Amino acid sequence: MIASGARRLAIAAGLLLQGAAGAAGDDLIAKGKYLIHAGGCITCHTEDADGAVPLAGGYALKSPFGTFYAPNITPDKETGIGNWSDEDFLRAFYEGTNPEGDAYFPAFPYTAYSGVRQDELLAMKAYLFSLEPVRKEIPEHDLPAFMSSRLAARAWQLSYFEPARFEPDTTKSSPWNRGAYLVRHLGHCGECHTPRGTLGALLQEQELTGNPEGADGESIPNITGDRKDGIGKWSLSDIEYFLDIGMLPDGDFTGGSMSDVIEDNTSHLTPEDRMAIATYLKSLAPED
């Protein structure tokens, strides 16, 4: 009797501990969920098909360099990231390599993500690991012969990848800095809105001036503060509202890939974060 009472007590204490950890974990998971939206993960890691499970991969990113198939990032141990440690996860973002040490192609935007804070990345991992594992095999990338090996990705990294750390600019406001972090790093807006050089590296001196030859043949607009070609005539509130529901200042509604970005990413952000993005974009020097 005594023994079993003690065992029961131990179990009760264990459950209490578990309950406490669960509560802290819930906050972390909620934070991670927000960041997964802000990071635009869903748009690429979800197949473009009716009934596709979010984040289970399979989306075909058609680029001028070939077709990349986004991996399954649900916690399935065989086809997803269920076996990844925290270190594996961080290495993907900070070094652009998979757990085996092979280099990722920059279709996975680690060039931008390497500026994301470590605690935020681990919150994102906690959210991903709270999801139902989905067993889903993803096809190999369909790339031209000279790019078919991971060595090509490694060579690219040696030339073009400099892990970026986000350093706040103390001469600027805190919304500006928050916006810079969201635009340049977590939200990786430049991946579509900044033009690319011949080997696909972003031309950062032309940050966000648009890419006439975007993925899927889409022409991507200039979103700097230029009054003629960019969004210089949009008010901060116009930008915030656009990122919320997709309405342009003339009352038309956007379509194309930005529609997915709004649905999966920016409409889930707080109004303050959308205003921060607007503040940063409006500050960018006009460029033609």
Partner 1 sequence: MHARGLVDGQEFLVKHANGLANGVSELQQLFPAGSNVEDSDALPVIWEKPEEFAAAIDKAVAATQKFVAAAESGDKEAISSAFREVGGSCRGCHDTFRVPQD
Give the number of C-alpha atoms closer than 13 A to the C-alpha of residue 276, restricted to the C-beta side: 21
- Residues 86, 125: contact at Cβ < 8 Å? yes
Nearer to partner 1, 88 or 287 (CB): 287
Provide, rounded to whole angstroms, the least separation between the CB of residue 127 and partner 1: 25
33: left (phi over 0), alpha (psi -120 to 50) or beta: alpha
Provide, rounded to whole angstroms, the least separation between the CB of residue 279 and partner 1: 18
Nearer to partner 1, 73 or 261 (CB): 261
Query: By the criterion CB under 8 A, which residues form the site for partner 1?
Result: 218-219, 221, 237, 241, 244-247, 252-256, 259-260, 262-263
Cα distance between residue 7 and residue 13, in whole Å: 10
Query: How deeply is 216 buried, as exposed, middle or buried, from its count of CB atoms within 10 A (0-12, 13-18, 19+)?
Result: exposed
Instruction: Enter the tokens of residue 219.
Output: 């022409």
Provide, rounded to whole angstroms, the least separation between the CB of residue 245 and partner 1: 4
Provide, rounded to whole angstroms, the least separation between the CB of residue 238 and partner 1: 10
Nearer to partner 1, 187 or 246 (CB): 246
Nearer to partner 1, 157 or 194 (CB): 194
Provide, rounded to whole angstroms, the least separation between the CB of residue 258 and partner 1: 9
Provide, rounded to whole angstroms, the least separation between the CB of residue 75 and partner 1: 30
Helix (H) or strand (E) holding 152: helix 150-160
CA distances (Å), 80 to each of 144, 146, 250, in order? 25, 27, 43
Provide, rounded to whole angstroms, the least separation between the CB of residue 136 and partner 1: 24
Nearer to partner 1, 257 or 283 (CB): 257
Q: How far is C-alpha 45 from the geometric centre of its chain's CA atoms?
A: 10
Nearer to partner 1, 88 or 218 (CB): 218
- Residues 182, 239: contact at Cβ < 8 Å? no
Nearer to partner 1, 81 or 243 (CB): 243
- Residues 111, 164: contact at Cβ < 8 Å? yes
Q: Read off the amino acid at residue 261.
A: V
Cβ neighbours for 114, distance < 8 A, ≥ 6 positions apart:
93, 94, 96, 163, 164, 165, 185
User: What end-to-end distance do the CA atoms of the chain give, in Å?
Assistant: 82
